[in-house]
């Protein structure tokens, strides 16, 4: 069996590994020169319900990547407003750790390989085609997984945001995102809230060295720095556009919340540089991601696939999806959970085995099913879903699915009959 994964973000990495664990050959195709996609600039793990989801995955035998991340954290078990027991991975060193691990497990990685078309017959993809550098490439497989994410290309950022802010996806260099499902003729869904189509990414990064030594030292020591924004500057800037509803708390409006992920992660989509430099300690501030972080950020959640709870794309025989492509799912944890299931099911499909849906008695299964139903409604398309806050975390708590006790989590996975299912 041969599975082709298109898009090497967290979802694609998890999918690739899950296929290998089922004994399949897997090719992971990534348009840029590094894996992890938007995970190259993220870093927050295990906050709120993400702790439960990570432990569930470990209990289900799909936890290797979570464990590698845990080992590469700058801070563990820290708290920032509204987010207890968080850990922060080092964005500067994470990618090579994962790349080496996947290679060691036999995932065949093709970087600088951008897929821009599909060959189809009888509702099945036969091959995907594109370019690796200047060379034309064609990859055939038994099943395909679309993990191309929902960020960019620059035309979307220009149309629905403030233009290309030069984010980590580097579309002008590597070419913009191309959705595989859309190339197959699948009508994709678009996140929208009021008049805003898609959503602007919710954090940016400052060079830690460009901040005052006191702020830098606090970040290095505690992982978190909360700096009040003087009232006159709050009035100067408009920060209402947020991708992440889990950060829609007054603390994030009144303060600059900074997290140490290697850089100083600033928990707002963007902040005008001139205004920022008026705040004590930020006089020399400089953006690291996106480079034009004073003006805007990437636009995401345009182009999500209709899918079932096996993460198979509706209307397609052999196409699966995961990560942001599988719904308005925000986060690395969410991408790893769905990526693992999509990879596992693509392998089952190729082996002609019954596909797996995770039961709703575990948070991972409940989130996948809940987001699918929400995305079928106009109102549901106006929200984002994450284990870490907002609507879905509330639901987790109400259903008794949130726990920070690894033993209890292992027990609930065992009760659901899912122990080691991904092993």
Ligand X SMILES: Cc1cc2nc3c(=O)[nH]c(=O)nc-3n(C[C@H](O)[C@H](O)[C@H](O)COP(=O)(O)OP(=O)(O)OC[C@H]3O[C@@H](n4cnc5c(N)ncnc54)[C@H](O)[C@@H]3O)c2cc1C
As measured in angstroms, the least distance from the Cβ of 168 to ligand X is 7
Whole-angstrom distance, CA of residue 384 vs CA of residue 141: 33
Q: Is 112 helix (H, G, I), strand (E, B) or coil?
A: coil
Return d(Cα 49, Cα 364) in angstroms, integer: 10
CB nearer ligand X, residue 5 or residue 362: 5
Residues 14-53 as x/- pattern, contact with ligand X by CB under 6 A: ---------------xxxx----xxx-xxxx---------
The answer to whether residues 95 and 68 touch, using CB atoms and an 8 Å cutoff, is no
* E-state strands within 25-183: 25-29, 44-45, 73-80, 83-89, 108-110, 113-121, 124-132, 135-140, 143-146
Stretch that binds ligand X, among 4-12, 158-166, 221-229, 392-400 (CB under 6 A): 4-12
Q: Tell me which of 331, 343, 365, 380 binds ligand X, using CB under 6 A.
A: 331
Residue 271 in contact with ligand X, rule: CB under 6 A: no
Closest to ligand X by CB, 298 vs 416, is 298
Size, binding site for ligand X by CB under 6 A? 38
Q: Are 241 and 386 in contact (CB under 8 A)?
A: no
Per CB under 6 A, 296 contacts ligand X = no
Least Cβ distance, residue 283 to ligand X (angstroms):
24
Q: Which window, 228-236, 332-340, 356-364, 411-419, contacts ligand X (CB under 6 A)?
A: 332-340
Helix (H, G, I), strand (E, B) or coil at 147: coil
Looking at the Cβ atoms of 20 and 114, the one nearer to ligand X is 114
Position 141 contacts ligand X (CB under 6 A): no
CA-derived radius of gyration, the chain: 20
Can you give the length of the chain in residues? 423
List the interface residues with ligand X, window 300-329 (CB under 6 A): 323-325
Cβ atoms 192, 381 nearer than 8 A? yes
Smallest gap from residue 300 Cβ to ligand X (A): 6
333 binds ligand X (CB under 6 A): yes
Sole binder of ligand X in the list 5, 10, 303, 312 (CB under 6 A)? 10
Instruction: Enumerate the H helices of 226-281 as residue ranges.
Output: 231-236, 250-254, 273-276
Nearer to ligand X, 32 or 186 (CB): 32
Closest to 239 measured CA to CA, from 269, 267, 264, 259: 269
H or E element at residue 264: strand 264-266
Half-sphere CA count of 286, side-chain side, radius 13 A = 6
Site for ligand X in 371-400 (CB under 6 A): none
CB 109 to ligand X: min, Å = 11
Within 76-211, residue ranges assigned H as helices are: 94-104, 154-160, 171-174, 180-183
Residue 347 interacts with ligand X (CB under 6 A)?
no
Per-residue contact string for residues 87-116; x = within reach of ligand X by CB under 6 A: ---------------------------xx-
Tell me if 149 contacts ligand X by CB under 6 A: yes
Q: Is 178 in the site for ligand X (CB under 6 A)?
A: yes
Q: Is 332 in the site for ligand X (CB under 6 A)?
A: yes
Q: How far is the CB of 415 from ligand X (least distance, A)?
A: 27
Name residue 118's beta-bridge partners: 128
Nearer to ligand X, 20 or 263 (CB): 263
d(CA 272, CA 138): 44
Distance CA 40, CA 339 (A): 17
Q: Report the residue number, 38 or 156, with the smaller CB distance to ligand X.
A: 38
Positions touching ligand X (CB under 6 A) are 6-12, 29-32, 37-39, 41-44, 114-115, 147-149, 151, 169, 177-178, 201, 203, 298, 323-325, 330-333, 335
């Amino acid at each position: 069996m041969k599975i082709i994964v298109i898009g090497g973000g967290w979802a694609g990495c998890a999918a690739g590994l899950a296929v290998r664990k089922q004994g399949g050959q897997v090719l992971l195709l990534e348009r840029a020169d590094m894996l992890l996609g938007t995970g190259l600039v993220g870093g927050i793990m295990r906050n709120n319900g993400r702790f439960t989801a990570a432990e569930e995955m470990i209990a289900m035998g799909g936890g290797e990547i979570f464990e590698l991340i845990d080992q590469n954290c700058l801070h563990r078990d820290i708290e920032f407003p509204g987010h207890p027991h968080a850990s922060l991975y080092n964005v500067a060193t994470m990618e090579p750790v994962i790349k080496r691990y996947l290679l060691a497990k036999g995932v065949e990685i093709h970087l600088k390989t951008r897929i821009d078309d599909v060959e189809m017959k009888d509702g099945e993809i036969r091959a995907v085609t594109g370019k690796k550098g200047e060379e034309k490439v064609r990859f055939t497989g038994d099943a395909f997984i679309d993990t191309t994410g929902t960020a960019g290309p620059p035309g979307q950022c220009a149309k629905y945001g403030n233009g290309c802010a030069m984010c980590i996806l580097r579309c002008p260099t590597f070419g913009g995102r191309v959705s595989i499902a859309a190339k197959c003729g699948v009508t994709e869904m678009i996140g929208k809230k009021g008049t805003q189509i898609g959503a602007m990414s919710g954090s940016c990064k400052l060079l830690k060295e460009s901040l005052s030594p006191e702020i830098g030292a606090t970040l290095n020591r505690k992982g978190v720095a909360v700096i009040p924004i003087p009232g006159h500057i709050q009035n100067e800037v408009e920060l209402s556009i947020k991708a992440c509803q889990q950060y829609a708390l007054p603390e994030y409006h009144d303060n600059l919340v900074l997290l140490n992920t290697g850089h100083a992660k600033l928990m707002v989509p963007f902040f005008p540089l001139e205004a920022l430099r008026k705040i004590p300690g930020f006089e020399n501030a400089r953006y690291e991601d996106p480079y034009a972080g004073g003006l805007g950020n990437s636009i995401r959640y345009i182009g999500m696939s209709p899918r079932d709870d096996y993460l198979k794309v509706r209307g397609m025989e052999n196409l699966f999806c995961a990560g942001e492509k599988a719904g308005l799912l925000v986060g690395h944890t969410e991408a790893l959970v769905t990526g693992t299931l999509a990879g596992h099911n693509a392998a089952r499909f190729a082996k002609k085995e019954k596909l797996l849906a995770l039961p709703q008695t575990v948070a991972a299964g409940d989130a996948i099913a809940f987001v699918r139903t929400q995305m079928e409604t106009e109102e549901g398309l106006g929200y984002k879903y994450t284990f870490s806050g907002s609507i879905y975390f509330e639901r987790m708590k109400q259903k008794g699915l949130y726990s920070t006790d690894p033993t209890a989590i292992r027990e609930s996975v065992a009760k659901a009959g899912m122990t080691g299912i991904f092993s």
